[in-house]
Chain A
C-alpha cells in the first residue's frame, strides 16, 4: 500500500462507488416522477400529485447528496490523474464540460422550480419542470457515460506529436458505438433501482397496513415499469454490451467469464472461484457450450481464453472482475424472476394478496444498488491495465507529484465524511418513509416544528 498508484486508484474507486449510489436512484426516480406527474395531469386525480410530491422529497435528498459527492469526481481527474488529464483533456474534457453546461444547469434550475414552485407555476408548468428534470438527469448520464466510453473504446481522436490526444471528429466522440450500448444498459439499471425502491416502499406500506392506497400505487408503478426495464437490461442492451467487449476487449471477456484456456464450444460458468496462479476455475458449475453460443451464435465457436494473451494485457484483478460480473448477471436474473412473477400476479389482480411476493419486493430494495455497482466495477476493473484502452496504461496517468501520503490523507477524509453522509441519508429517507405520503404534505420537519410551537 506504499505505492501511490494503488492509493490513487482506491481514492477514485471509493469516491465514485459512493457517489453512484445517488445518481442511479435519482435518474430512475426522475423517470418515475415524470410518469406520476403525467398521470396527474391526464387524470386530474390528486392522488398522483400526492405520490409525486412524496417521491420528490426522497429525490431531493438523494439529489443533494449526488451533487455534493459529484463535484469531487470532476476535480479528481485533475488532482489525482493529472498526466491523464493533460494528455486526454482535449477530448474527454469536451463531454465533461458539456455535461456541466447542458445538463447541470438544466437539472438544478428545474429542480429548484419543481421543489419550491408548485403553487407559483401551476399544474402545466410544474409538469414541464418534472420533464426538464428528467431530461437533464438523463442527458447528464449520457455525457458522463460517453466520457467513460471513450476510455473504454477511444474514437474520433488523433495522437499529436507531443503525446496528447486531440479531438479529430466531434460526432465520432458523441456517437461512440460503445457509449450507446453502455448508456442504454446503464440507464435501464438506474430505472430498476428507481422501480425497486418505489415498489419496496409500497410493499412495506401494504404489509405494515398503512398508507394502503399509496402502497398499491407505488407497487403497481414500480413493477410495471420495472419488468420492462429488467427485460431490456438483458436483451438487447446486456447482449450488445457483451458483444462490444467480445470485439474490442477480448482479454476482459475471458477474465469476466473465468475462461483461462481457449476452447471450441466454450462453457459458461455459473459458479466457481477463479484460481489465477493455477489458471483454472475451482468448483465450477457450468453450462456446456453456452459461452460460444452467446458470444458468436454458434454452439461450437472457439472462444479465446486468457492463455491467448500476454499476461501484461490481463486485467490486474481477475477475481474481482469475475465476481462483480457474476454478481451483476446473477442479480439481474433474480430481478427478472421477481418482477415477472409480480407483474403476472398484478395482471391477474392477485399481487396485493400475495404476501410472499410483497415480502420479496420489500427485501429486494438493496439488490439493484449492488447490481449497478457490480456492473460498474466490471466495466472499470475490466478496462485495466489500461486507462485508455490499448493506448495509455493506468500507471502512466497518475499525478506524479502527489505522494501516497497526501492521497491517503484525503482518502481517509472522504471515508470519514461519506460515512456521516451515508448515515444522514438513511436517517432522512427513513423519516420520510415513516411519515408517509398524503394530502398532509408537510414534511416531518414542519410537523415537529408545529408541535413544538403548540407546546
Chain B
C-alpha cells in the first residue's frame, strides 16, 4: 500500500511540474520574449485560464502527501521552513501579478507587475530545483524524525547542510533552464508570427544549455550519491526512466527543427517526467534520506499512514483524480488554438 501511494504522490508531483512548469516557464521568459504591451498580454493570455488549475496540482499533491505520508509531510515542511515560506510568498506575488496586471490600464502599473511576474517565476524555478536537490542529497534528520535547515551554511553538501550548497544551487539552475525550455516550447506551440519566431529561437538556444546541464547534473549526482546507481543494478527495468528523459530531450530538438510544435512540447513534458521519475526511482524505498545515518532515513514503511485510511483513500483518489483529469482536458480543449495579439475574448481581464 505504501509503494502504491509512493507512486501516486510521484505522479501528482510530476503532474504539477509538467503543468505549472510551462506557466512558470512563460514567466521566466516574459520580459525577454515579449516587448510590447500587446505581446505581453498574449503571453499572459496563453496561461490565463489554466495557471490557477495548474497550481491546484501543487495543493492536491501537498494534501495527498499529508494524508499518505504524515511523518514525511511533518518532517520536510518544518525542516524546509524558511524556503517553503519564501516559495509561498513567491506564489502569492506571481498569482497576484497574473490576475491584477491588466485590471488597471497604464504603463507604470503593467510594467511593475510584468517585472514581479517574471522575477517570481525565475526564483520559483530555482527554489523548486534546490528543493529537489535537498531531497536527493538528504537532510540531517534526528532520531525523532525532525530536522531544521538554515538557508545556507558553508555551501558544502555534507555535514551541517543548508538549503543552498553548490550541489542544490546547480540543480536550481538546471531547473531554471529546463522550465525556460518548457515555457518556450509551450509558447512556440501557442503563439504566432514574430512572437512564435522568438519563442522558437529561445527554445533552440536554451536546449543546448539544458542538454549540457543534464549531463553535468547526472554525473555530479552519481559521484556525490553513488547509492543511486544501486537501484538500477537491483531493478534494471528502472533504466526506462532515464531513457524516457533522453528520448524527450532529443525529441524536443528534432520536433522543433521539424516545426512540429505540439510534439515538441509533448517531448518537453516527457523529458521532465523522465528526469523526475529517475530521481524518484533512485530514491525508493526512501522518501527522505538522512545525512545523519542510514537508520534515520524516512522510508515508505516508516512514514506512511495506517493501511485502512490508505485503502479508503485509493478509492476516492481514483474517482477524484479521474474527474480532475476530465476537467483539465475539457478546459484545455475549450481554450485550444493559437493566441493572437488581435484577439479579444469575452470580458476577459487579460
Contacts and interface: CB of A to CB of B under 8 A. Distances in A.
Interface in A69-114: 69-72, 74-75, 77-80, 82-83, 85-94, 96-102, 104-106, 108-113
Contacts of A317: none
Given A60-B349, A113-B49, A445-B349, A94 B313 contact: yes
A446 to B, nearest CB: 8
B56 A105 contact: yes
A88 B67 CA distance: 9
Contacts of A88: 70
Interface string A426-455: 001001000000000111111111011000
A70 B59 CA distance: 10
A93 B72 CA distance: 12
Nearest to B79: A401
A92 B305 CA distance: 11
B63 A109 contact: no
Contacts of A72: 85, 88, 92
A176 to B, nearest CB: 16
Interface stretch (A34-42, A166-174, A240-248): A166-174
Range, interface on chain A:
35 or more
Contacts of B330: 109
Interface stretch (A115-123, A303-311, A320-328): A115-123
**DSSP majority for the A interface?**
helix
B312 interface: yes
B63 A99 contact: yes
A424 B96 contact: yes
Given A85-B77, A111-B52, A401-B148, A160 B306 contact: yes
B53 A108 contact: yes
A431 B103 contact: yes
A113 B61 CA distance: 23
B153 to A, nearest CB: 15
Given A116-B49, A118-B346, A417-B92, A167 B308 contact: yes
Contacts of A82: 74-75, 77-78, 146
B82 interface: yes
Interface residues of B, number: 73
A61 B63 contact: no
A112 B49 contact: yes
B235 interface: no
B31 interface: no
B293 interface: no
A94 B309 contact: yes
B122 to A, nearest CB: 18
Given A67-B55, A77-B66, A445 B321 contact: no
Interface string B41-60: 00000001110110110111
A217 to B, nearest CB: 18
Interface in A396-419: 399-402, 406, 409-410, 413, 417
Q: Which of B58, B102, B330, B346 has the most C-beta atoms of chain A within 10 angstroms of its own C-beta? A: B346
Contact of B62 (A75, A110, A431): A75
A64 interface: yes
B240 to A, nearest CB: 28
A89 B73 contact: yes
B253 to A, nearest CB: 32
B78 A402 contact: yes
B81 interface: yes
A410 to B, nearest CB: 4
B92 A112 contact: no
Given A94-B309, A113-B334, A53 B104 contact: no
A86 B53 contact: no
A173 B88 CA distance: 30
Q: Lowest 10 CB-CB distances: which A-B pairs, in order? A: A89-B70, A78-B77, A93-B67, A448-B105, A97-B63, A90-B305, A100-B60, A101-B320, A82-B78, A109-B327
Interface of A: 53, 56-57, 60-61, 64-65, 67-72, 74-75, 77-80, 82-83, 85-94, 96-102, 104-106, 108-113, 115-121, 160, 164, 166-168, 170, 399-402, 406, 409-410, 413, 417, 421, 424, 428, 431, 441-449, 451-452
